[in-house]
Structure 1
Amino acid sequence: MAADRIILNGITVTSCHGVLPQEKTSPQRFIADIVLECDLSRAGHSDDLAHTVSYAEIAQEAEAILRGPTVDLIETLAQRIADTALTRVAVEAVEVTIHKPQAPAGVVFHDGQLGGPAVRIRREQDRQVVIACGANLGDREATLSAAVRALDRTPGIQVVAVSPLVETDPVGGPDQPDYLNAVVIARSRLAPLHLLGELHRIESWHHRIREVRWGARTLDLDLIQVGDPDNGSDLICATNDLTLPHPRAAVRGFVLVPWSQVDPAAALRCGDTARPVLQILGAVDVSGVRSGPPWWPL
C-alpha cells in the first residue's frame, strides 16, 4: 500500500451541524484535517498534476460538504469527505478528522482552535475490479495462468473468481494468431492508477511490448471496471493514463462472453446507465468467440 501522504490541515467553516435544536440555528466552527495516502513517486519524477491528486479540488469539495446541508453528526461529515476523496483514482486511503471546538457538551474545553471534541476516521479503497486477460503468443494458457497467480499474490489484490477460457479471432491489427481470453473478478484495495501499474508490471514480466496497436502480444491485462455500477460504487475517469470503464468493453465479445460466464449478474456502465452485461452481449457479434481449453489457474 502507498506510504506517501498529501496532508490538508485546518479547513475551517462556520455552519450549523449538530443534534441539539440550538445548533441548527446558531453557527459554530468546524475544522477538517485530511490525509490522503497515494503513490506519489510517478508525480515526483514527471512533475505532472495528472499523476497525483489536486489538493485544491479535495479542499474545495471538503469545504462544500462542511458548508452544505446540515447534519446531526460530525461522523457524517467525515464519512462524506472520505467518500469524495476515494473517488480519485490515485487515492489509496484517506484519514479525515473533524474538530468541533465549540460543541455544547456540558463541560469546559480548552479554548484553542483545536480544543473540544473531534472524530477521526480512516477509509481505504475496497472495490470489485474486472480485469480482462488475453494472450496469443507462446504458451498462452501457461502465461494466463501465471498472470492470474501473480495478480492473486499482489498485496492489495484478492482474486475472487476466474472465467473459463475462450478462444477468439484477432480483432483489428495485423495478421496474428488466435487469442485465449479470460476475465478475472477481484477485490482491490489499491488505487486504480496503482492497480494499473501492477497490471503493466505483470505484463512486463511476460515480455509484453507496446509497439503495434492491437498487435500480437504475450500477455494483455486490461482494467475494465472498478466498482459496481449497480450500487453506484463504480469509478469513472478519463485521463491519458486510464479510462474507466474501459471505453471499448461494450463491443468486445472476447471480454463480454467470459465476463458473463464468471458473473452472470454483472453490469457495465454505458454512459449514464448501468446495463446488464448479458443484455449488452445480445447485441454484439460473438461469431469469433468459442470455448477454449479447460483450465484451473488457481
Structure 2
Amino acid sequence: MNSNVAPIATGELEDGGAGMSRSSEPENTTLKDEARSRQKMISIRGLKKSFGDAVVYDGFDLDLPQGQFISVFGPNGCGKSTLINMISGLMPMDAGEVLYDGQTINETKISYVFQNYREALFPWLRSIDNIHYPLKVMGVPKKKRDERVEQLLADFEVKIDLNAYPYTLSGGQQQTVSILRALVTDPEVLFLDEPFSALDFEMTLFMREQIQKIYLKTKTTTLLVSHDLEEAVQLAEKVLLLTRRPTQVAEIVDVDLDWPRTTQITTDTRFVDLKRHCLDVFWREVKAT
C-alpha cells in the first residue's frame, strides 16, 4: 500500500498565501495563456491486474483531466473500485504506471472516502477529532489544525454536533464527517467509492447536493465510483464508461449541464438523453461476448 494513502487523507498541509510576491517586470501574457491552456492530466499506462485466473485489466491506458468531476460506471465485476484503488495506491498493480501531471502517487496529495463510513471513522474519537486526525498524524501544530478545521467547517456551513461520537450520528452525518476528514488536508485528488450506497434515498439526495457544493467550491479533481447511473450523470462533468473484463474504456461521455444540478434536472431533456446514451453503451457492453 502506498504510504501516502489512508482512510482519511495524505500529503503535507500547505501554508496559505503568505508567500506570494509581485514582480516589477511586465507580465508575459502569452506564457500565462499557454499555462492556462496546458491541461493537467492523470495518465494511466499499461495497467494490468488479475485475481487468480480472472484478468481484470490487461494493458489499460487512460488520460483523465485534473480539476474535473469524473464518474466511473460499468458492468458488475468490471473492476470499477479496483481501478480507483490502483490509481490511488491502495491496491498494487501487477504492471503499469500512474502519473499525476507527471508526478508519482507519492508526490501527490490524495484523499479517499470509503463506502462503509462506519468502519472508516474512529468510534473512540469525537467527530471533530476524527476530522483533525490526518493533520495530527502529519505533525501539523494544534493552532494551525484548529484554524484549518474552523475554516473548513465555515466554508461548508456544517450543522452537525461535532462533539458527538460518530456512532451517535445519522448515516448521512457520519459520511459528512468522513468527507470533511478527507478534505481537511486540501487534497489534489479526491476518490469516492460508492459513498452513498449505505444511505437511505432522502439522505442520498441531500449528500449529492453536498458533494456538488464541495466540488464547486474547491474544484478538486474527483473520481466517483457509482452503481447508480442517474447519480453518475448528475454529479459528473465526464462519465467514464467501462467494458466487461478484461476491462477497457467503452466511452467517455461529456456531461455539459449547468451547475448546481438539483434533483429536478433528472427530468430535463438533455439529462434524459445523456442518461439514455450511457445506458445504451452499458447494455452494449453487458451483452458483448
- In terms of fraction of residues, the more helix-rich structure is 2
Q: Same fold (TM over 0.5)?
A: no
- In terms of fraction of residues, the more strand-rich structure is 1
Tell me the TM-score normalised to structure 2 length. 0.28
Report 1 or 2 for greater relative contact order, CA contacts < 8 Å, sequence distance ≥ 6: 2
